[in-house]
Amino acid sequence: MKRVSKKTLRHLLGICSFLLAFMMMSTVAEAAGTDLNVGAAAVLNSDESDKNEKSDVAVTAGAVVSESVAVKIDEPAAEENQEETEPEEEETEEVEETAGQLVMANVDNSVNVREAAGEDAPVAGKLFKNCSGIILEQTEGWTKIQSGNLTGWVSNDYLIFGEEAQAMAEEVGSLKATVLTDALRVRKEASEEAGVYKLAKKGEVLDAVEELGQWVSVQVDDETVGYVSAEYVSVEFATDHGKTSQEIADEERAKELAKLSRNQGAVPTSVSDVTLLAALIQAEAGNQPYEGKLAVGAVVMNRVRSGGYPNSVIDVITAPGQFPPATNGTVAAIAARGPSSSCMQAAQAAVDGQTNVGSATHFGRVGKASGVVIGSHVFY
């Protein structure tokens, strides 16, 4: 066997080392997915070159890592901002969706509707039991509604919303007939030849009982049913509405006038009694409107009926200390020449039982007492 020199062995060892290093670099490149085409000369680069390459790789890797971290930090921040704004958008949408929805009064009698959201705000009107409204807007604890001519704010504690309100409206609603003509006759029977209970004005809403083809039966009062022509009304199923403060005041006033105007019953009299009463009316209220003239005549006739005064027209008028024009000759003079037509009309109406001051038995100048004021007189 030939002896190999040490120099040859070192050369062979260098080649093996080179091949081993090259194989290791190829394995690493394949694992990293890099197309490494490096020659033997690249392996022989200086240590400084290797350091520069490692530095470049480190910098590049750092940039990639930094960029990745930046993305990961920005994305959660955006999500957090979105989560913070979403509840506000949902709340706004919820309030907007309630506008136009039905609401019902949750009261045994009535609840105040106010001009602003708050218990100290002025009262705009009232929402009564079984009345409905439409939601206009809402705020914390309060809802702004429209109910008929009434618009204002109601505490949520006195309202019913949603499906419960709809169910209640269907339960308590009724037929309503709205008058479409200027004056509509409410007749006693479903016939154009029937008598008339009253005239209903345009826009008035009547409680309808039943649709009967060409006629609609309506409630005149709690005990009376009348009939109106179907051609002149619009009938629909509806609930009651609230009322403004002015509407409530007007209704109260109308009720008072109705009581004051209730017929007191006719009193048997002669022509001379009517003329004498007309003469007194002219002496006491000749410069007053017709309502004032009728009121004076009603006071005289109320005394005749009362039992606390004489029971005849002449005795009441001529009673001492009661009507000065009757005792100083003024009434006799007017009766002799004939009272005015308006005073004669008022006297006949009073004798027939008409009144606009109820059962009042006194009158005087405004300010003398509290009572019903007509013209410059107060009746009590």
What local confidence, expressed as pLDDT, does residue 34 receive?
Answer: 47
346 shares its domain with 270: yes
CATH of the domain at 189: 2.30.30.40
Domain's final residue, options 155, 172, 189? 172
Would you say residue 89 lies in a domain? no
User: Would you say residue 114 has pLDDT above 80?
Assistant: yes
- What's residue 66's pLDDT? 35
Instruction: Give tens-digit pLDDT for 290-320.
Output: 999 999 999 999 999 999 999 999 999 999 9
Provide mean pLDDT across the span 5-14.
62
Q: Is residue 9 located within the same domain as residue 112? A: no
pLDDT score, position 27? 59
Q: Is residue 50, in this structure, part of any structural domain at all?
A: no
Is 92 domain-assigned? Answer: no
**In this predicted structure, which of 69-83, 138-152, 362-376 has the lowest mean pLDDT?**
69-83
Q: What is the pLDDT of residue 256?
A: 82
* 273 & 200 share domain: no
- Assess whether 276 and 360 both reside in one domain: yes
Token pair 């003079």 is found at 333
Q: What is the pLDDT of residue 9?
A: 59
All residues at 6 or more sequence positions from 289 whose CB lies less than 8 Å from its CB, including other chains: 374, 375
356 and 274 both lie in a single domain: yes
Query: Same structural domain for residues 219 and 277?
Result: no
- Asked whether residue 90 carries a pLDDT value surpassing 70, the answer given is no
Q: How does pLDDT run across 196-206, given as a tens digit for each residue?
A: 999 999 999 99
**pLDDT higher at 38 or 356:** 356
Coil, strand or helix at 211: strand
Q: In what order do the strands lie in the sheet with 110-114?
A: 159-160, 102-105, 132-139, 142-147, 150-155, 110-114, 123-128, 243-244
* pLDDT, greater one: 302 or 50: 302
Residues 6+ apart with CB under 8 A from 310: 303, 304, 316, 319
pLDDT at 195: 94
Q: Decide if 252 is inside a domain.
A: no
- Note if the pTM is more than 0.85: no
Give the Cβ contact number of residue 350 at 10 Å: 31
Q: Residue 11 belongs to what domain range? A: 1-32
Cβ proximity of 162 and 154 under 8 Å: no
Residue 112 sits in the same domain as residue 162: yes
Do residues 146 and 215 both lie within one domain? Answer: no
Evaluated on CA atoms 159, 160, 166, 168, the torsion sign reads: negative
Number of domains making up the chain: 4
Band of pLDDT at residue 91, cut at 50, 70 and 90: very low
